Structures are given as C-alpha cells and as structure tokens.
Amino acid sequence: MEETTFIMIKPDGIQRRLVAPIIARFENRGFTLVAIKLVHASESLIDQHYAELTSKPFYPGLKQYMLSGPVVAMVWKGKSAAALGRAIVGATNPKESAPGTIRGDYCNDVGRNVVHASDSVESAKREIALWFKPEEIAHYAPCDLGWVYENVA
C-alpha cells in the first residue's frame, strides 16, 4: 500500500549543502516527491512539530537549533514510506546509525543529525498537515512505477 511520509532536512543539512544528496537517497529508492519547500520555521511551528519533546531538558537547545536557519520540508510517497524513510535516514543517534544511511554517512552527534523522518504513518499525517496545505501536495503517478514496484497497473 502506498503511503506518504514527512522528511525534513534540518539547518545543518542546509548549511552543509547536503540537500541534493539527501533527496537523491529517496529518489534512488523509488519514492515519489509530492511536496517540497524551503522554510524558516516559526517558534510556534517548531513547538507544534516537536510537541512530545517540549518538556524534555534538551528541548530548548533543539528548538534554538531548528530556528537557526531554514529547513527543507518534503512529502514523499511510496510503499511503506514511513518505515522505509526511517530506514534510509538511520537511527536518531548517528553513532548507532549504520553506514549507508543518511545519518551513518553524514552525522556525528545527535544534536546535528541533519534530517528528520516521521516515525509512523500517524506521525507523518500529523507532520504533513503542520507543514503543508492540502493544495501544496501534488497528485500524480510517475511513469516508472512499474519499474519500481511489482503489480502496478
């Protein structure tokens, strides 16, 4: 079943010019990009996005980091997009991320882990709704779907 997921390249990923390599990881896996924008997020948006973390002791530092520069917010579509998106990104702690994952290849510290990926279908729906209006999400079928997935009509 196709689903959508939310992926965000964080300020350190922008500053390090990793946008194209990160996008390529998802395209190479066969995901379909259906929404993208460069955003300098507001405090309110960051607080809503990380609502479950606002009471944690590390949250002020996380919030300051997320407000330090623009992010690239994206919606990707594909089979098992949320689970596979997390697999492409790697473990939250880069020291636990396997080589070949984004964090395993580009990161050293949790506080500079380059990218966010929704951790579930439910989280993806909530995050997509925070960052994108429905009319900002494109609906189309790439011509190569039959080469990416089996049994596509």
113 is in an annotated binding site: yes
Quick one: how far is CA 118 from the chain centroid?
A: 6
Residue 153 has what pLDDT? 65
54 is in an annotated binding site: no
DSSP state of 60: H
Model pLDDT for residues 14-25, shown as the tens digit of each residue: 999 999 999 999
Range of the domain at 25: 4-42+70-148
Residue 51 falls inside a structural domain:
no
Residue 108 falls inside a structural domain:
yes
DSSP lists the bridge partners of residue 73 as 8, 37
26 is in an annotated binding site: no
Residue 9 falls inside a structural domain:
yes
Model pLDDT for residues 45-86, shown as the tens digit of each residue: 999 999 999 999 999 999 999 999 999 999 999 999 999 999
Look at the chain and report how many structural domains it folds into.
1
Q: How far is CA 50 from CA 24, 58, 76, 81, 106, in A?
A: 26, 12, 20, 21, 23
Residue 111 falls inside a structural domain:
yes
31 is in an annotated binding site: no
CATH number at residue 96: 3.30.70.141
DSSP state of 99: B
Residue 61 falls inside a structural domain:
no
Residue 60 falls inside a structural domain:
no
Residue 85 falls inside a structural domain:
yes
Model pLDDT for residues 80-95, shown as the tens digit of each residue: 999 999 999 999 999 9
Residue 12 falls inside a structural domain:
yes
| Whole-number CA gyration radius for the chain | 15
d(CA 22, CA 121): 21
pLDDT at 152 over 80: no
d(CA 98, CA 91): 8
Catalytic: which of 40, 49, 116, 139?
A: 116
49 is catalytic: no
Sequence-distant (6+) residues with CB within 8 A of 16 are 106, 114
pLDDT at 1 over 80: no
| Closest to 38 (Cα-Cα) out of 10, 18, 61, 77 | 10
